[in-house]
Amino acid sequence: MAGVLDRASLEAVARLFGVLAEPTRLALLQALKAGPRAVSELAEELGAKQANVSKQLGVLHAAGLLARARDGNLVRYSVAESMIFELCELVCGKLRRDAERQLSALAPAKKRK
Does residue 22 contact residue 48 with C-beta atoms inside 8 Å? no
Q: How far is CA 85 from CA 3, 102, 110, in A?
A: 24, 25, 37
Q: Please tell me the distance from the alpha carbon of residue 61 to that of residue 104, in angstroms, as a whole number.
A: 41
Residues 22 and 69 in one domain: yes
Residues 37 and 52 in one domain: yes
Please write the tens of the pLDDT for every residue from 57-93: 999 999 999 999 998 999 999 999 989 989 888 988 8
Q: Name the pTM for this structure.
A: 0.83
Residues 14 and 40 in one domain: yes
Residues of the domain holding 107 = 82-113
Residues 75 and 110 in one domain: no
Residues 87 and 68 in one domain: no
Q: What is the DSSP string of 49-100?
A: -HHHHHHHHHHHHHTTSEEEEEETTEEEEEES-THHHHHHHHHHHHHHHHHH
Provide the number of structural domains found in the chain: 2
Q: Which residues on neighbouring strands pair with residue 37, listed in sequence order? A: 77
Residues 39 and 68 in one domain: yes
Residues 27 and 72 in one domain: yes
Residues 21 and 45 in one domain: yes
Residues 93 and 61 in one domain: no
Assign 26 a pLDDT band (cuts: 50, 70, 90).
very high
